[in-house]
Structure 1
C-alpha cells in the first residue's frame, strides 16, 4: 500500500480548521463551519487506518503498544500544554466559580471523556446561562481517542482470525471491508435515530460519530485499488464534487440544522471523495491546489490551531461579558495563530521527530499518558486550592442588618432587610464574609424534586407527595424551573400547616397553554405541550384545595401556526391567550388558584459579580431587565381578570427599583433568574401568609 506524503491532505486539514475557526469567530457566511470537525474525523480515520494497514502488510502483525505510543507522542504534549495554560488563564480572566468549573472540565478532557461530560451538561437546563467552557472543544478529541482505543483492537482481531487462511497478503481486505461497512452503516443509522430523539447527546456521542472515522478507514482500505479504474478526469471530478459538498455544508448549515444525523453525510462523504481522488499515482489538479504551501503550513498547524482557538475566543468573551468586536476578534485570531505556530514548532514537532521522540521509545511513550495526567492533576489541584482560598470566608465583614438602616413604618422584617441591603449596596459596603449559600457552591443551589424530575417527561410520570404526605389538604405547584425554585418555601409551608404537596414542574416549559420553542433547536416542543395536558389531568385526579402557578416567560419564543415568534409584542399576545386558557381550566378544577408573579431578572450572573476582582455589594446591585418585567406582567393581568389571587415577590427581592444579590448575608439568586434554595426557604413565612396558608 502506497504511503506517499500527500500535501492535499494537509490542505484538507487547513480547510477543516479554518472553517471551524471562522464559524466560532462569528465570521459571516460560514454558519456551518462546524462541519470542519467532521472533515477532521474522516481525515483522521483515513490516515491512521492507512498506517495501520501498511504495518500489517509489511510485518504481518499489528503492534498495539507501538500504535498507542505514536498516538501519545502526537496528541498528549500539545493537549496537555493547552489544558494547563487554560486552567491558569481561567483563574485570571473568569470568576472563581467559573474557574472552578474549568478544573472539572480539565479532568474530563484529560481522561478523554469530555464528550460524555459536555453531553450531560448540554441537557442540564440549569447550566444553560453559564456560557461555554474554554475546554469544550476537547469533546472531539475524546471521540477520536475512544475510537482509537477500539479500532486497533478490532483490526487486530480480524487479522488474527484470518491468519490461518491462505492469502497473498497478511491484510484481510475483504473481511475488513465487511466489518468496516457494517460498523459504519450501524453508526450512521444510530446517528440519524439519536439526532432525531436526543440531539444534544447525539452531537457529542462517539457512537454517532464513529461512522465518520469508519468511512475514512474504509476509504483508506479501498482507495489503492479503486483509483486504478478511474481516469484522471474522473478523479478531478471526484475532488471537485467533494470540495463542493464541504462548501455547501459550510455555507448553508446553521445551528438549527439537526446534526450530525443525515446532514453530516454531505461533508463526510465529500471529504472521503477528496481523499479517494488523491490516492492514485496521478494527483488531480484540485488536489494539487490543496497542496499549495500556505495551505500545507496551516494544515501542519491545524491540531494546535484547533486546540488554541476555542479557549482564546471563549476566555476573551467571558472576561469582557459580551461578544467581541471585529477588531477584538481579529486580535484573538492573531494570538491563536501565534500560539499555534509556537506550539507546533516547540512542542508538536520535537515530540514527533526530535530528541523527545527518540528518547520516548514505545514503553516510555506509553508512560507519557500517566505523566501528562499527573501534570494536569497538579495544575487542577493548584487551581482548586486557589479558588477555595480566594472564595473562602476571608476577613470579618458582617452581614447587613435592619438595625443599621432602620425599618420603614409598617414594613415586615423581610421587606425591611431587603431595603437595608439595597442601602448597604448603594453605600458600597463589603460583601459579607459568611455567605449563604457558599459562593463556590452557588451553582448547586437547585431545589430537589426527588424521584419526580419532570425534566425527563414523558419518561417520568410518577407522582411524589411531599410536605406532609398524610396531610388532609392538598397543594399543587405547577410551572417551569421558576416554580421549582419555590419548592423550599412550599416545603416549609406544607410541613408547618400539614399540607400534602405535589410539585408538577418542568424546566423551560412555561405554564401558559402555548407551544414554546425547544431550547436547543427552537423547534416546537411537543413534550411541553403534552406536559400541559398531563398536569391538568393530574389536577383533576388529585382534586387539590389549592393550585399555585409560577412561571417565567418562554426562553426560546413561541410557535403559532408554524411560525416561530420571538418579538416581545407577539409573544405577549400569545401568552395572553395561553394564560386565559390555563386559568379557565384551573378555576374549573380547583376551588383556590393563585399565581406567583415571576421574579425580576438580573442582567448579570451573581457568581460573576461576587467572585470577580474585589467586589463590594454595589457591584452586584441590579435593575430588572425590561423584557422580563413586561412579559412577567402578562400572567398577572390575566390572573386578575379571572379572579385568581396574585402574590408579587418583588418586594422580597427589590426596593426602590434596585435588587441586591445579597440580602443580609444570603445570596438571593443562583443565576440570572432562579432563586437559591436557601433564600427561597427564608421566604416561606411571608409567602405562606400572602397565600393565606401560614397559621400562627
Structure 2
C-alpha cells in the first residue's frame, strides 16, 4: 500500500498543500526502510550505489521534460519570461529550485511574477536533497553512537535504537523550526528544506518502528480511514491563507503515518483494497511523469493556442499529460532504470553531470537572448509624440499608442525588474533599517539637498528624480521600503500572512520621520506611494478621522513644521493586474487588450492623491499626472511607443524619464536652492 500511495499522490506546486507532505512522509518511509534492510543484510550502506539508483530512477525523465520545456518556451512563451524561466529551469536541473523560490518569495521585485514551466520542481529539489543527505545522516548517527559507546559501555549500540533516537531528535528540531519560521517568514518557509525534514523523519520513524509490519483488523481499518480522512480534510479545507507547513502540516503527516502502519482488513471496506485496484496502480505507475509534464503543459498550451485556460482546455491538458506520461514511462523511465545504458556508477554519475551541464548551458543561452541591451532611438525620443506627448491633442500624433514599435522593447523593460537600475536602494519587508542612496549631483557641489521617500513606487520615480536633480543642481537622498507608504497610519494588506511586516513598516516610518526632521541639509521632501493597494487604520495612541488620508497629511504637516517643503506624486493608474510587458508580448498588434478603462484604473482608493489635494491649501505641492497616463476613456499600457509599466504597477524607467518635463513644469513655484 505504501508503494501505491507513494506514486498515487501527486506532488503539488506553489499554493497547493497536503500532496507534498504525503509524498515526503512516504518517501522517508520507503527510503529509510530500504536503507535499514541493506544495513542489516550487509552491515553497511553503499552510498555510491544508492545515489546511482536514484539517478537512474529520477533524472532521465526530469532532464527530458526540462529540455523540451525550454524548447517550448522559446517557441511559444513571450520573451519577457525567458530570463525567469531559464533561472528556474537551471536551478531545477541542479536541484536547488526550492531555495531559488524561497529567495524570490522575499524579493519584492520577484513578487507577482508569472509562473514558469519549472516552478513545480521545487518539491523534486527537496526530494533530491533528501536522497543526498539522509543516508549521510544515518551513517553519521551510527558512527557517533559507536564512538560514544567506547566511553559509555552501557550505551546501546543497536542500529535501530540509534536511528530511532537520532531521527526523533532531528525531526523534532525540524518541526520546531518549521513552526517558528512559518510564523515569522511564511512565504520562504514553504520552500525551505529544513522546514520539511520532519515530514521525511515521520515516515522514517514509521519504517523503523514497525519494520514492514502493519496493524490489521477492524480497528486498524478505522485508523486507516481516519488517516485518509485527515489527509482529505486538510486538502479540502487548507487554503493559501493557512500557515504552512508549521503545525498545520501535522494533520496530513499524521494521517499518512496512520495509513502506512495500518493495513486494516482485506475487505472492500479497507483503504488498502481501494489503493490496490488496477486503476490506482496504473496512475501510480505514471504519476512521476504526470508530475513532470502537467505543469509545463498548463503554462505553455495557453500561449501556444493564444487562449485562456477553460474547462475544455484543462481536460485536454489532463489527457495529454496522461498520454505523455505513459509514453515517458515506456520509452524513458523503464529503459534507463532497467536497461544497460546507465548500468554502473560511472555511467550514472556521468549522465547526471552531463545532463546538468547541457540544461544549464541552454538556460544561459536563453538568458543571453533575453538580455539584449536597453536602448532608446534618439530620433524617436526627440519626437513630440514620444511618450506622454502622444496624449496631447495639440501634437496631432494620431495613435496614443504610437506608430512605432515600443522602444525599448517589452523584454528590455521587463528586465528592469530583475536588473534594477538602483540596486540596493530599497529596504525589504523586515526590519526598520534605513537604506539610503544618492542621486543627482554630489552633495559637495549641490545647490540644495532633497529627499525622495516612500514605498517601491517611490523607487520607480528615481530615474525622473535623477534627471531633475542634475538639471537643477540638487543632491537627492533616497529612502524607500518595500510595501511601506510613509504615513502615520498603519498600512494594512489583506493578503499579508506576516503581521510583523506591518509593525516593521511603522517602525521604519517613525525612524525615517525622525531622521528627515533632524537632517537640516534637506530642504524639500518628495514622496510617492502605491496607496490604492492598501487599507489604513489608526496607529495606537494616534486616532485619525480618516486614516487613509489623514495619515499622509499629518506626516507632511510635521515635515513642513520642520522647515521642509513637500512634493507629492499622484498615485499612478492601476493596470489589469498582469505584467504589462508580458501582456504586450502576448498581444502583438493589440496593445489595447492590456489597457484599462479610466473608471477602473483610477479608483477612489487613490488616497495619496486625495491627501495631496486636501493639503494643497497648506502649501503641499501635488504633482498631477493623470493626463500623462490616460485620456477621457482609457489608461494606456503604451503611450507614444513607450511602455508605461515595467510590471503590474511600477512605471518603467523610460516612462519615468519621459515624464520629467511634465513634473518640472509643476515645480515652477517651488524654490529649492534658489
TM-score by structure 2 length?
0.85
Structure 1 residues 544-693: aligned runs within 5 Å: 544-555=522-533, 557=535, 575-603=548-576, 604-612=578-586, 615-616=588-589, 622-623=595-596, 626-631=599-604, 633-642=606-615, 643=617, 644-654=620-630, 661=637, 666-691=642-667, 692=670
Kept in 1: contact 2:429–2:482 (CA 8 A)? no
Inter-CA distance 425–379: structure 2 relative to 1 (3 Å threshold): farther
Counterpart in the other structure of 1:568? none
Inter-CA distance 320–479: structure 2 relative to 1 (3 Å threshold): farther
Counterpart in the other structure of 1:268? 253
Structure 1 residues 272-283: aligned runs within 5 Å: 272-278=257-263
Distance 1:234 1:380 in 2: 54
Inter-CA distance 159–329: structure 2 relative to 1 (3 Å threshold): same
Structure 1 residues 333-482: aligned runs within 5 Å: 333-356=318-341, 359-377=342-360, 379-380=362-363, 383-384=366-367, 387=370, 399=380, 402=383, 415-416=388-389, 419=392, 423=397, 425=399, 429-431=403-405, 438-439=412-413, 441-444=415-418, 446-448=420-422, 450=424, 453-461=426-434, 467=440, 468-470=442-444, 471=446, 473-482=448-457
Unpaired stretches in structure 2, ≥5 consecutive residues:
none
Kept in 2: contact 1:95–1:608 (CA 8 A)? yes
Does residue 490 (structure 1) correspond to residue 465 (structure 2)? The answer is: yes
Does residue 192 (structure 1) correspond to residue 179 (structure 2)? The answer is: yes
Kept in 2: contact 1:139–1:204 (CA 8 A)? yes
The Cα of 1:647 is off from its aligned counterpart by 0.7
The Cα of 1:363 is off from its aligned counterpart by 2.2
Inter-CA distance 248–195: structure 2 relative to 1 (3 Å threshold): same
Counterpart in the other structure of 1:138? 121
Inter-CA distance 517–52: structure 2 relative to 1 (3 Å threshold): same
Counterpart in the other structure of 1:69? 52
Inter-CA distance 612–462: structure 2 relative to 1 (3 Å threshold): closer
Distance 1:552 1:521 in 2: 19
The Cα of 1:449 is off from its aligned counterpart by 5.8
The Cα of 1:382 is off from its aligned counterpart by 5.4
Distance 2:590 2:563 in 1: 43
Does residue 207 (structure 1) correspond to residue 194 (structure 2)? The answer is: yes
- 1:540 pairs with 517, 523, 531, which one? 517
Kept in 1: contact 2:115–2:299 (CA 8 A)? yes
Inter-CA distance 508–160: structure 2 relative to 1 (3 Å threshold): closer
Q: Deviations over 1:322-358 (max 9, x none)?
A: 86222222222222222222222222222222454xx
The Cα of 1:533 is off from its aligned counterpart by 2.8
Distance 1:203 1:314 in 2: 22
Q: Which moved more, 1:512-521 or 1:420-429?
A: 420-429
Partner of 1:367, secondary structure, is helix
Kept in 2: contact 1:508–1:555 (CA 8 A)? no
Does residue 9 (structure 1) correspond to residue 3 (structure 2)? The answer is: yes
Distance 2:340 2:46 in 1: 22
Q: Deviations over 1:387-437 (max 9, x none)?
A: 57xx7899x99737536x7xxxxxxx9753554999464687341676599
- 2:270 pairs with 280, 285, 304, which one? 285
Does residue 176 (structure 1) correspond to residue 159 (structure 2)? The answer is: no
- 1:55 pairs with 15, 18, 38, which one? 38
Kept in 1: contact 2:403–2:641 (CA 8 A)? no
Counterpart in the other structure of 2:484? 509
Inter-CA distance 437–137: structure 2 relative to 1 (3 Å threshold): closer
Inter-CA distance 281–372: structure 2 relative to 1 (3 Å threshold): farther
Unpaired stretches in structure 1, ≥5 consecutive residues:
1-6, 25-31, 406-412, 563-571
Partner of 1:256, secondary structure, is coil
Distance 1:280 1:151 in 2: 33
Partner of 1:630, secondary structure, is coil
Q: Which moved more, 1:587-596 or 1:238-247?
A: 587-596
Kept in 1: contact 2:426–2:459 (CA 8 A)? no
Distance 2:401 2:570 in 1: 29
Q: Deviations over 1:245-272 (max 9, x none)?
A: 1112112111000111111111112111
The Cα of 1:598 is off from its aligned counterpart by 1.5
Counterpart in the other structure of 1:28? none
Q: Which moved more, 1:636-645 or 1:138-147?
A: 636-645
Partner of 1:34, secondary structure, is coil
Distance 2:411 2:217 in 1: 69
Does residue 158 (structure 1) correspond to residue 141 (structure 2)? The answer is: yes
Partner of 2:71, secondary structure, is helix
Does residue 332 (structure 1) correspond to residue 317 (structure 2)? The answer is: yes
Inter-CA distance 576–88: structure 2 relative to 1 (3 Å threshold): same
The Cα of 1:482 is off from its aligned counterpart by 0.9
Q: How many residues align?
A: 653
The Cα of 1:70 is off from its aligned counterpart by 0.5
Kept in 1: contact 2:216–2:264 (CA 8 A)? no
- 1:295 pairs with 269, 280, 285, which one? 280
TM-score by structure 1 length?
0.83
Distance 1:105 1:546 in 2: 43
Partner of 2:479, secondary structure, is strand
Inter-CA distance 183–313: structure 2 relative to 1 (3 Å threshold): same
RMSD of aligned alpha carbons: 3.9
Kept in 1: contact 2:126–2:193 (CA 8 A)? yes
Partner of 2:295, secondary structure, is helix
Distance 1:331 1:561 in 2: 52
Q: Which moved more, 1:204-213 or 1:527-536?
A: 527-536
The Cα of 1:445 is off from its aligned counterpart by 5.6
Inter-CA distance 651–428: structure 2 relative to 1 (3 Å threshold): closer
Distance 2:125 2:402 in 1: 46
Kept in 2: contact 1:301–1:344 (CA 8 A)? yes
Distance 2:60 2:409 in 1: 41
Kept in 1: contact 2:595–2:634 (CA 8 A)? yes
Kept in 1: contact 2:574–2:601 (CA 8 A)? yes
Q: Deviations over 1:113-141 (max 9, x none)?
A: 10111111122222223222221111111
Inter-CA distance 199–618: structure 2 relative to 1 (3 Å threshold): closer
Kept in 1: contact 2:531–2:607 (CA 8 A)? no
Distance 1:161 1:561 in 2: 54
Distance 2:88 2:665 in 1: 44
Inter-CA distance 201–618: structure 2 relative to 1 (3 Å threshold): closer
Partner of 2:243, secondary structure, is coil
Partner of 1:595, secondary structure, is strand
Kept in 2: contact 1:57–1:171 (CA 8 A)? no
Q: Deviations over 1:287-312 (max 9, x none)?
A: 23222221222122221111122222
Q: Deviations over 1:351-399 (max 9, x none)?
A: 222454xx522221122201211332454355456657xx7899x9973
